[in-house]
Amino acid sequence: MAWVIAAVAIVATAPSLPSSSDESSFLPKSYESIQASDLQQKAFPSAFTPSAFVLYERADGGRLTPADLQAARSVTAKLAAGHISQVQKVVPGPPSKDGRFTMALVQMDKGGAGQPKQADAAKKLRADAKSFAQGTHLKAQLGGSAAQALDQQDSSQRGQQLIGIGTFVIILVTLLIIFRAPILAVLPLVLIGVVAGVANGLIAYATKLFGLQANSSVSAILIVVLFGVGTDYFLFLIFRYRERLRAGDEPKEAMINAVGRVGEAIASAAGAVIIAFLALLLSTLGFLKQMGPALAIAVGATLIAGLTLIPAVVSLIGPKVFWPSKAWREEPENARFAALGRGVRRRPALVAAVAGVIMAVLALGTLGFKATFDMASGSMPKTKESMVVQSEMQSAYSAGAAEPTGVYLTSTDGKPLAKSELPAFVARIKGVDGVADARVAALSKDGRTADVTATFTSGAASDQALTTVGEVRTVAHAAAPPGTKALVGGMSAVYKDIDAAVNHDYRTVFPVAAVLIMVILGLLLRSVVAPWYLIASVGLGFGATLGSTVLLFQKAQGHDGLMFMLPVIMYLFVVAIGTDYNILMVARLREEAREGRSPRDAAGMAVRHAGPTVAAAGFILAATFATMLLAGNSLLSEMGFAVSFGIVVAAFVMAMFFTPALTALIGHAAWWPGHGDRAERTGGAAPGEPTGRVRELDPSGRR
């Protein structure tokens, strides 16, 4: 009842979740591109900065005739007279050199950049342009940042629907196969759906409270995290509940014992994931900094539900939750996992070597990693209209014409700029390799700032453009006359700064997340040895995952690169979730050792008994992340493959073979100084068990 009241209250009162697709909003103001943008808005408040482009071409693909050009001007005039909300100006643009295209330039309210209201304006503008072009030989298409925001919104909504449906189907079918009980298959979907509503409400509150922005891609990731991780915790609890029922406990007592004994595993696993996500608060990128708390809140809500809501509902239903199957009453032999356990026990060195070599070979692919920075094109299919317009403009006009670079020369001594010094400054900018043209576009009213617009020969997000903008910055800073300074802005400069910010995050987020997770492992295992090789094994799994992603997308599919934030996100998911499975396996291994078994025997028994849960949880979580491949854009496709493959490596290579084999080789030293593997010598038996009997453990490795 408490959950129902809380869920209704949070969902009903939660504020709307703001969203942004503007890459520049992801950088702090300490970066030059943001400083240049602020200077541009201050010095040129009424400057014409196109937010969208209407690209005109003949429907038959031929050269534009004088009548076609006149028709394009007529459509542009009608758009300008339409008084569309958020649209300030619509003016004719230049024709292309090959005579096949012409354009209209659209200026929108600067404060709405990347916001839903500007996407709505773009939708109206696109519809009107197509309507006004009817009856002519022209085809009118809308591109630019506002159109990209609209197409990204539509693509994200479609992707979320496909991901949601795929996630539900995978969880439903898999749980039916595992338990052969329809109630158990449907129950987690219903309960986690309630948790999702609560989590989204809490995220909206946190976003409003701390003034954050939510990127549209985060919603798709949230669906997968909530249902994937939530189902994992559901499995841990149900396996333990079923085990206690088999041991003869009454239903309510079985649930109390299940929560009391599996709670540590769930809390530790969730703690590792939450800490990993919160490490994103150290990121300099707004996208990642905003994603971290959102995902941490989602996992936190799932953890609380896993220890309260799910046990309460299952306890109310009782053993009928397994209906109509009767297999739950009998302990399975787990013959396959018993054979795997025997292999680990007999030849741990060979098993560890083979698993380690497989991961190391795959990790070699990381040497070819290359980052791309255009989130707009990465977050939607290339068939979307704004992407088609971008491609056509890059081929028909100068590749950098759609997104020119602004070089702002401003006075630092309060005096107006000397106009006689501007030609030499512009000439230096124009002389940079990769700059097609540079000119003074405007002077501020007080004469203290000049806007020098530089057009590159390459697209704004290309490697060549990033190299060019770096050289432009160097030249502009050096060529600025005494008493002035130069700031370089524009999308190429933003991407260049994002590159620097990501490199900073690699140096901070990675080690901090690793250290914090090691602390959790040390506290759980009471060892200072085990956390080192466990986190090292997870790191090797991360390398194998990134290398495989590079081989698939860059080598096999010919992508220019992977999205710039992918390694950070992949690292957090693989390290945190990989640690979860290591926790389950090593905790079971420790329990077997406490029963008096040797390190090798304990490793073999751990694989036999914990293997089924690791396999089931790993398969479901990997499959749910794989549904992101259905989203239809490279960002979520790359993320979906990378994380799902990483989970497969973590569950079926690392936790199943590498970690227990390595622990068996290290032996008792793995538990120093706590020596948590010491056999229990209490002299008595557990209540209800005969003396000398080795107590059975549930597949999750907990009593």
Show the domains of the chain with their CATH numbers: 1-29+180-331 (1.20.1640.10), 334-384+515-678 (1.20.1640.10), 404-489 (3.30.70.1320)
Whole-number pLDDT of residue 697: 38
Give the Cα separation of 366 and 587 in Å (integer): 32
- Helices in 180-215 by DSSP H: which ranges? 182-210
Whole-number pLDDT of residue 214: 58
- State the average pLDDT for the chain: 84
- Of residues 190 and 152, which shows the higher confidence score? 190
Give the Cα separation of 386 and 143 in Å (integer): 4
Mean pLDDT of 17-44: 78
> What is the per-residue pLDDT across 248-257, written as a single tens digit (0 to 9) for each?
888 899 899 8
Beta-bridged to residue 101, according to DSSP, are 57
pLDDT band, very low/low/confident/very high, at 366 (cuts 50, 70, 90): very high
Backbone angles phi, psi at 22, to 5 degrees: -85, 110
Model pTM score: 0.78
Whole-number pLDDT of residue 215: 57
546 and 369 in contact (C-beta within 8 Å)? yes
- Of residues 575 and 421, which shows the higher confidence score? 421
Whole-number pLDDT of residue 244: 85
Give the Cα separation of 508 and 517 in Å (integer): 14
Q: What percent of the chain has pLDDT over 90?
A: 33
Kindly report which listed range (76-90, 393-407, 449-463) carries the lowest average pLDDT score.
393-407
Whole-number pLDDT of residue 332: 65
365 and 562 in contact (C-beta within 8 Å)? no
58 and 138 in contact (C-beta within 8 Å)? yes
Whole-number pLDDT of residue 377: 62
Whole-number pLDDT of residue 692: 36
Whole-number pLDDT of residue 325: 79
Whole-number pLDDT of residue 211: 66
655 and 251 in contact (C-beta within 8 Å)? no
**pLDDT at 126 > cutoff 70:** yes
Whole-number pLDDT of residue 702: 39
pLDDT band, very low/low/confident/very high, at 127 (cuts 50, 70, 90): very high
> What is the per-residue pLDDT across 466-480, written as a single tens digit (0 to 9) for each?
999 999 999 999 999
Give the Cα separation of 393 and 96 in Å (integer): 9
pLDDT band, very low/low/confident/very high, at 687 (cuts 50, 70, 90): very low
Whole-number pLDDT of residue 27: 81
Mean pLDDT of 254-268: 84
Q: What percent of the chain has pLDDT over 70?
A: 88
According to the per-residue pLDDT averaged within each range, which of 46-60, 65-79, 318-332, 596-610 is highest?
65-79
pLDDT band, very low/low/confident/very high, at 682 (cuts 50, 70, 90): very low
Whole-number pLDDT of residue 694: 38
For residue 101, give both structure tokens: 């295209």
Q: What is the DSSP string of 240-296?
A: HHHHHHHTT--HHHHHHHHHHHHHHHHHHHHHHHHHHHHGGGG-S-HHHHHHHHHHH
Residue indicated by tokens 């703001």: 18
**In the chain, how many H helices and how many E strands?**
22, 10
Mean pLDDT of 103-131: 82
pLDDT band, very low/low/confident/very high, at 659 (cuts 50, 70, 90): very high
CA separation, residue 194 to residues 163, 191, 280, 301, 302 (Å): 18, 5, 26, 10, 10
According to the per-residue pLDDT averaged within each range, which of 136-140, 151-155, 536-540, 592-596 is highest?
136-140
pLDDT band, very low/low/confident/very high, at 572 (cuts 50, 70, 90): confident
**pLDDT at 17 > cutoff 70:** no
Q: Parallel, antiparallel, or unpaired for β 484-489 and 449-456?
A: unpaired
**pLDDT at 681 > cutoff 70:** no
According to the per-residue pLDDT averaged within each range, which of 271-275, 382-386, 469-473 is highest?
469-473
Amino acid residing at 223: I
- Of residues 548 and 87, which shows the higher confidence score? 548
Residues 6 or more apart in contact with residue 461 via CB below 8 angstroms: 372, 373, 374, 377, 491, 492, 495
**pLDDT at 19 > cutoff 60:** no
